[in-house]
Structure 1
Amino acid sequence: MKTKSHALFEAYPLQSDVEIPVGRVPTPYQTYDGHGTLIGGTADLGQVQSLLQNETVHPLQTEGGRAVMGIWVVDFTEASLGPHKELQFSFLVAHQPQPPVASHPLTLLKALFVNPAARMFCYGLWNDTETAVAYNRELLGLDAQLTKAEITRTNGQKRFRFVNSDGEMIFAGQVQEATRPVARVGWSLLRLLGWRQTVNALRRPYLGAKVVNPISDRLPYNADAQSYIAADQPLIQFFDPATDLIEFGPANNGQFDFQPQFIEHFAPFRFVYLNPEKI
């Protein structure tokens, strides 16, 4: 299949089938096509520290005293587990306390893909198929929940809405989609990363980032799981309140004091998520 003909899947091919409550599934987790959006920003540090009080990780904080947070909205149209949608709330963390990172709108990207100590802690995860939920819970140790999801893309705008099993809204919004690289964003990222790190990132066929699961009965420690993402042309834009709108549902409204700073779109959304490392 053409969509699977990529260096990422050659380096990390499907290995075996594993039995989980919904049946046999292939591993590792792979997605071959779709459209993903990352909304990056900052959250209230004290609230995030409180949410992580039972974990053994430490949130990365900016020089301005904020936690670094990202929200993923993804429509996987072709994947090893079949088509499915996903919403994820994540905090950037490290296993040991780290010096503050720059108070820059794109600091999440530098920390996630350049800082070897940075991890993405998966705090909240929702999928719209039982297979994806079971896989994430049973094999990856993530607290995945079932959702009903709507994601549409029309006239340069992406709209999304996720609700729980009771029909209560979890997260919703609409954002503009850049159609070409934004020069102002490119120069800002270049100044943040520096020339060498920018060139190195552009030359890689895929980027790697480590994800950490919450402690649970299924996985009683904060394990690292390696993930990789590849898109033909990621497009980054600054968040614009005049055109971009996000809304948290009652369960999370006000919990993070999330302040969005940028939006990055990935297409096609090629992704590999390896199993958590054993301690």
Structure 2
Amino acid sequence: MSNDSHPVFAQAPQPGTVTLSTGTAPTPYTVTAGHGLIIVGHCSAGALAAAFDGQDVFPVLTEGGQGVLVVFVCDFAEASHGPHLEFHVTALAAPVPGATVPQDRAAALSALATQADWGVLSLHLWNDTPDVVAYNSEYLGLNARRCTGFVKVMQAHLDFSFEDQDGTALSSGKLRLNRRSDAGLMGRVLRHLGWRGLWDAIRRRPARAHVINPKSRVMDRNGRALTLTAPDKMIVTGFDAAHDRLEVSGGILGRYGFKPLIFEHLWPFRFVYVHPDDA
């Protein structure tokens, strides 16, 4: 089966077009091949509060009072809008205040699979092509900005580095690429899922999650954009500072006091992003 004939794309809305400042672009946004790295960790709730000010969704905190960041590092080798890179910083969010997850580092990953009314609020997004920046900003309301950088997938690790259009460092890292998920960590994820959550997650093929746009002139509400993800491989690894490197002292992640805990490698990256009006 070719990537573009995978069943995930049959669940996408009918193809269309939208007119942007860069010209006409196809809808919906799809990715048929590439690599994705999802890095989940805790952060300062105080630093996160300003990002949620004025929004109609609320940060999900750990029982210890920390926020939860979900960071996407992606190399979209084949996509509806051409090959491009993405560096996306999001925060776990709920429709009502006071939502919490256990302090265990496996809990946030489980919550993404079981809490259907939760999502991730887009905080900061960078892409390396003008067409994708225009699509994400002008059509999806995600306030994307231009960047430069690279994502290199090696046999045993993934290297990446991103800079904004002024040459200021955003983030960089070198993380292990294991052949299989950490057994102990996956056991903890399954315990947090529970039998009902595990069954629901198994039935939801492809994986379904929601990205929430911040309010802006483009979209004056917190729209919930459905995403469909269907890679062949998903390897979950616990972050270990003795073997993994992620630059968090400076750049955007340092602003939030980010502490990486888990990362998940997905490939080949098959992905559909549905506009909130079509979800």
Q: Provide TM-score, normalisation by structure 1.
A: 0.94
1:78 aligned residue: 78
* Kept in 1: contact 2:47–2:256 (CA 8 A): yes
Match of 2:36 in 1: 36
Partner of 1:262: 262
CA distance in 1, matches of 2:29, 2:122: 16
Q: Aligned partners of 2:122, 2:203: CA distance in 1, in Å?
A: 28
* C-alpha deviation, 1:212, in angstroms: 0.8
Amino acid at match of 2:226: Q
Runs of 4+ in structure 1 deviating by more than 6 angstroms, as ranges, are none
Question: CA offset at residue 204 of structure 1?
Answer: 3.5
Residue 271 of structure 1 aligns with an amino acid whose one-letter code is F
Query: What CA distance in whole angstroms lies between the structure 1 residues aligned with 2:277 and 2:94?
Result: 16
Q: Which residue of the partner structure matches residue 246 of structure 1?
A: 246
Q: Write out aligned runs for 1:111-190 (5 A).
A: 111-190=111-190
Alignment of 1:20-59 (within 5 A): 20-59=20-59
Tell me how far apart the structure 1 counterparts of residues 108 and 72 of structure 2 sit (CA, whole Å): 13
Q: What amino acid does structure 1 have at the position aligned with 2:33?
A: D
Q: Which region of structure 1 is more displaced relative to structure 2, 122-131 or 12-21?
A: 12-21
Partner of 2:90: 90
* Alpha-carbon distance between aligned partners in 2 of 1:253 and 1:3, rounded to the nearest angstrom: 33
Amino acid of the structure 2 residue aligned with 1:109: L
Paired letter, 1:160: F
Q: CA deviation at 1:63?
A: 0.7
Q: For the Cα contact (< 8 Å) 1:170–1:248, is it kept in 2? A: no
Alpha-carbon distance in 2 for matches of 1:7, 1:181: 25
Q: 2:232 matched to which residue of 1?
A: 232
Contact 1:229-1:270 within 8 A present in 2 as well: yes
1:2 matched to 2:12: no
Q: What is the CA distance between 1:66 and its match in structure 2?
A: 0.7
CA contact (8 A) 1:40 1:106 kept: no
Per-residue deviation, residues 69-103 of structure 1 (Å, max 9, x unmatched): 11100000000001000000000111211432111
Query: What is the RMSD of the two structures over their aligned residues, measured on CA atoms?
Result: 1.7
CA distance in 1, matches of 2:273, 2:52: 23
Amino acid at match of 1:112: L
Aligned-partner Cα distance in 1 for 2:212–2:99: 20
Task: Count residues in correspondence.
Answer: 278
Q: Which runs of 5+ in 1 are unaligned?
A: none
Pairwise CA distance, 1:116: 2.1
TM-score where L is the length of structure 2? 0.94
* Inter-partner Cα distance in structure 2 for 1:134 and 1:145: 9
2:219 aligned with 1:219, yes or no? yes
Letter in 1 for 2:134: A
Worse overlay, 215-224 or 250-259? 250-259
Structure 1 CA distance, aligned partners of 2:181 and 2:96?
A: 35
Deviation at residue 168 of structure 1 after TM alignment:
1.1
Letter in 2 for 1:140: L
